[in-house]
Amino acid sequence: MRLLRPRHIKFVLLFTFCLAFVLPYQFWLVKLGEFPMVSDPLRPSDAIVITYTPTHAQVRHVVELYQAGYGRKIVASNFKVDIVGVPAFETAEFVKRELVDQGIPPENILVMQELPTSTYEEALLVKGLLQREGLRSAIVMAKPYRMRRAITTYRRVMGKDITLLASPSPDEDFDPKNWWHSRQGIDALYNEYPRLLYYLLKGYL
């Protein structure tokens, strides 16, 4: 019987260590990245809701959904953005301008006038806006790592009055399979998981 050489034994031990520690470590990191992400099979709805502070790519995602016939109206949420070196602005006006520039009729854009301070307040205001317009279903768009909290909170607020579907937007800065390799990915989950816990304790989820 041929015995393994010492260097072979070292290789086997190293390989075993990798299987026992490195792979499970990466497995759970991926699960941490995937958990906040949810998505529903889409079907035509009365409206598409743009949540929080969208980027240009997220606005394009909504435009694509609208042009594909998934929504008759687009609801633009509203938050105040105050960045050092940039004049403060409200996201609803930015979104409306982007949508009109991309060919969306202004009469099909519903702009939130109020300024919510949280996803929960946002959901309450969106519900009122949808009900005033007689809209009974909506696709909710959020960044992928915010999608679970957004859609769960919206469903809690809307109850059975309005049917909701989740549609996370593309996000080049967040990859659930290797989020820990980038500052943007780490920051995203570092900020999101405490919010998930807070919303759970508040009964919003």
| Alpha carbon distance 143, 198 (integer Å) | 19
Q: Which domain holds residue 162?
A: 45-202
The model's pLDDT over 144-180, given as tens digits with 9 standing for 90+, comes to: 999 999 999 999 999 988 999 999 988 888 888 999 9
Domain count, the chain: 1
Does a structural domain hold residue 38? no
Does a structural domain hold residue 109? yes
Share of the chain above pLDDT 90, in %: 53
Higher-scoring residue by pLDDT: 13, 189? 189
| Alpha carbon distance 42, 33 (integer Å) | 23
pLDDT of 3 reads 45
Q: pTM of the full predicted structure?
A: 0.83
In the predicted structure, residue 63 carries a pLDDT above the cut 70: yes
Q: Where are the alpha helices (DSSP H) in the chain?
A: 6-17, 23-34, 56-67, 91-101, 119-132, 147-158, 183-202
Higher-scoring residue by pLDDT: 108, 92? 108
Is residue 14 within 8 A of residue 7, CB to CB? The reply is no
20: confidence class by pLDDT, cuts 50, 70, 90: low
| 80: CATH | 3.40.50.620
Does a structural domain hold residue 15? no
**Structural element, H or E, at residue 140:** strand 137-141
The model's pLDDT over 21-52, given as tens digits with 9 standing for 90+, comes to: 656 778 888 888 999 999 999 999 999 999 88
Say which residues have a Cβ less than 8 Å from residue 124's Cβ, sequence separation at least 6. 116, 157
Does a structural domain hold residue 53? yes
Does a structural domain hold residue 21? no
Does a structural domain hold residue 1? no
Find the mean pLDDT for residues 107-113: 91
